[in-house]
A and B are shown apart, each in its own frame.
Chain A
Amino acid sequence: MAEGPRVAAARNRAASAKRALAALSVVGFLGAFVLVRAAHPGAAAPPATSNEDSSSQSQNDDESRGFGFGGGSISPPQRAVPDVQTSTS
């Protein structure tokens, strides 16, 4: 049986919808990937010039500082016998 014009139009609409979905999937993946890169402390920073956005460099530095070494709270011991021993494990 020959396809009528309405069936052919429906097939075209379905094909277009599939193409749109595929494109959306790619955009979604790339979007996630860009976010991953931007969140990474080792992401290569662009050369800092007055005309360029230096946000990547700032983020790099922020995350490096964000590791938070801080200072240790040590003082002379008040007991001769330790509670616990530190050593190479």
Chain B
Amino acid sequence: MGVQVVVAGADDSAYEAIEEHFERWEQVFSRFRADSELNRVNASSSWLVRVSLLFAGTLRTALAAASATDGLIDPTLGGALTAAGYDRDFALLEEAGAPAAEGQPGEWRSVRSGERFVFRPPAVVLDLNGVVKSLAVDEALNLLPGDGFVSAGGDIATRGETTVGLPAGEAVKLSAGGLATSGKTRRRWLRAGQAQHHLIDPATGRPSTSHWLEVTVAAESCVAADVAAKAAFLLDSDGPGWLEERGLPGRFVAPDVVFTNQVWKEALAP
């Protein structure tokens, strides 16, 4: 997944199991491994593709996230991401003179997942990274023998108290569930001088023009926090209210201000 994984509370066997766990998820969901299951599915010209239980279950979570966010978190934006220029491992991306290609809007409603099958138009390019990393974190937490936490690229799931440093300073205590940050301060690149990033607006198929730099959300699981943070980011000025309606604490970093919604303020009130 190209991110650092931090684990606390693991004995040797748990540490080994977590290492294998992330390696397996990388092998299944990587956009940049030619032999990943994701690439096998995307390369298929068939509408119906047999997949592993892990792939099918993760796709169902991605579709549930799409449903819960009215399509903001869309697992069919793989083509749009490639069109924006994110077509290889981020470490290998270089500035290009050619402008980004036209992206395709999301089509998550055209996708179905059964227990062992995926049904989708062959032209749809799946990318499950909207939920993969945070879901892998949640499942890795279950491999710990007791209290501890797992963090992958700053997406955190915890059992027991963990103090989490926040973007642009400050910290919070996370007692259970998950906390995640999404934004455009990393994974940025240029196409014809225009900044691109990996958070695609499903309505346009282009990188979002949200004015937030980073959005942090805490929720009952890491994947819920991650999905909510991405949705709030994409909703731009409507993001704080969207979180508020769901009782979720959110913290928004803009170029000149750090803003927290009412739920966040109340949670941190002395």
Contact = CB atoms under 8 A, between A and B. Distances in A.
A49 interface: no
Contact of A88 (B60, B111, B164, B186): B186
Interface in A19-35: 32-33, 35
A4 interface: no
A72 B227 contact: no
Interface in B14-65: 60, 63-65
Of the listed residues B183, B184, B187, B219, the one surrounded by the most CB atoms of chain A closer than 10 A to its CB is: B219
A45 to B, nearest CB: 11
A33 B119 contact: yes
A70 to B, nearest CB: 3
Of the listed residues B152, B186, B218, the one surrounded by the most CB atoms of chain A closer than 10 A to its CB is: B218
Given A44-B109, A85-B154, A88-B214, A70 B186 contact: no
B217 A72 contact: yes
Given A72-B220, A74-B268, A83-B162, 7 more contacts: A36-B114, A64-B67, A74-B179, A84-B6, A84-B154, A88-B185, A89-B155
A51 interface: no
Of the listed residues B8, B68, B187, B227, the one surrounded by the most CB atoms of chain A closer than 10 A to its CB is: B68
B214 A87 contact: yes
A84 B164 contact: yes
B183 A88 contact: yes
A74 B174 contact: yes
Contact of B220 (A43, A68, A78): A68
7 contacts: A40-B63, A71-B218, A78-B173, A79-B163, A82-B165, A84-B149, A89-B152
Contacts of B8: 83-84
B3 interface: yes
Interface string B220-235: 1100110110000000
Interface string A52-69: 000000001001111111
Contact of B114 (A35, A81, A86): A35
Contacts of A39: 60, 112-114
Contact of B246 (A69, A83, A88): A69
Contacts of A77: 163, 171-173
B196 interface: no
Contacts of B104: none
B112 to A, nearest CB: 5
A77 B114 CA distance: 43
A37 B220 CA distance: 28
B182 A71 contact: no
B240 interface: no
Of the listed residues A44, A63, A72, A77, the one surrounded by the most CB atoms of chain B closer than 10 A to its CB is: A72
Given A69-B68, A86-B156, A75 B214 contact: no
Interface in B164-212: 164-167, 171-187
A70 B249 CA distance: 10
Contacts of A41: 60, 63-64, 66-67
A82 B163 contact: yes
Contacts of A86: 151, 154-156, 164-167, 179-181, 216
Closest 7 CB pairs of A and B: A72-B218, A70-B220, A89-B153, A82-B165, A41-B67, A36-B114, A67-B68
